[in-house]
Amino acid sequence: MEVRDKLYIDGAWVAPVGKEAIEVVNAGTEEVMATIPAGSVEDADRAVKAARAAFDSWSQTSLEERLKYLTRIQEGLGARMADLANVIAKEVGMPINLANLIQVGLPIADFASTASVAGEVVWEERIGSSLVVKEPVGVVVAITPWNYPLHQIAAKVAPALAAGCTIVLKPSEVAPLNAFILAEVIDEVGLPAGVFNLVSGSGPVIGEALASHPDVDMVSFTGSTRAGKRVAELAASTVKRVALELGGKSANVILDDADLKTAVTRGVADCYLNSGQTCIALTRMLVPRSRLAEAEEIAAAEADSYTPGDPFADGTRIGPLVSAPQRERVRSYIKKGIDEGAKLVTGGVEAPDGLGKGFFVRPTVFSDVRPEMTIAQEEIFGPVLSIMPYDTEEDAVAIANGTTYGLSGAVWSADPERAKKVARRLRTGQVSVNGGAFNPAAPMGGYKQSGYGREYGRYGLEEFLEVKSLQL
């Protein structure tokens, strides 16, 4: 078992104030794989003070110098790619081949792409008698989730560093080991002391202390809508800038002229990626009522091909959920769907055959799901697909927009212009049109209770910048 007993503060690995530890559990075996420090309010304060002290000098370094450090971090992560994939596959449960590609490949790409993104920012411009300049917002707290742990860290750390901000990172205590590896890489490349700090611990202790700290200028949070509301409430006491990327209940609108087999097959994949533990998962599949039975048949066959298994076994397409509480949460939603009268097409609350250990659930498909049902309104965060029939295009748009969320979505049509027209009507931060792939250089963020602010690309970097007018 790995023991992590130090925090990374002010350019050094230091002992926490207290002696308490948090256990990290292997999602596939249910065994304790590591322990990390349960940081205290005092540890959070030390980290913020280090970031504040480092800000003046770091913010004045040239953009070229800051980007050189990002390149070194990218290279350091590349050298640790196998270690990172192995760790995250155990922490989160994503199959190892996908973990290598997605959980590690995307974060490395985030650091690599920041240089070109920084070149797109208009750092200074003349407006009449004024010179308008963009400057770093200051000390940034990054609070990150467990589902794509390193990717969500990189999406905040890379642009914040490029902007000239200093950072205190509070990773999820459920999947934190990858963050410690990143801190080792940052230490090795010689980033100036205090520019990056890592404090592990629980949200109610460390997260709340950081979000309310008077010396923090901005909080960038990714997680549940409930927790995001709490972060915004705490940050409001000192009028901090806040960026929130929260929950989703994304609709996959399949229009009546679409290739149903392609759209449904891709839709199941987009629902089940990372065992459904994806904020932009397409969990609501909207199909013409006349083609409902056909969609059910295609979805069932595809879902049944996602046999749960060991993340390290050859051919595993879907791994376990991240934890026992998450498994129970997902099973409770499956039961709720059955109790409220949705048609169970495949899956269910029972444990998958032959998997006595690990936080596994059956990939599940419901049909005849009505918009008012719990499984159509609340984020489940597991491999549970709700197929919802509609009668007209207007009906489909209304159903798609009929939740408190607005993070992602999709539209399928044989006519690309029709698909784009419908996509423009969806109240959501991004929409895949006819299977358009996720683009890490394009902005991502939410409408409504899916949050505010944007991540990735130029828009993501500009979240960490203030605008100042010099009147000349």
Which residues form the catalytic set?
Answer: 245, 279
* Distance of alpha carbon 153 from alpha carbon 170, whole angstroms: 9
Could you please report the per-residue DSSP string of 407-429? S-EEEE-SSHHHHHHHHHHS-SS
φ/ψ (deg, to 5) at 245: -120, 110
How far CA 442 is from CA of 67, 150, 386, in Å, comes to 20, 19, 28
* Distance of alpha carbon 425 from alpha carbon 428, whole angstroms: 9
What is the sign, positive or negative, of the torsion defined by CA atoms of 36, 37, 39, 44?
negative
**Cβ neighbours of residue 143 closer than 8 Å, sequence gap 6 or more:** 170, 203, 207, 210, 211, 219, 220, 221, 222, 223, 231
Residue 433, Cβ density class (10 Å: 0-12 exposed, 13-18 middle, ≥19 buried) = middle
* Distance of alpha carbon 151 from alpha carbon 13, whole angstroms: 23
For 287, the token pair is: 């199909």
* Distance of alpha carbon 204 from alpha carbon 304, whole angstroms: 39
Name 433's bridge partners. 411
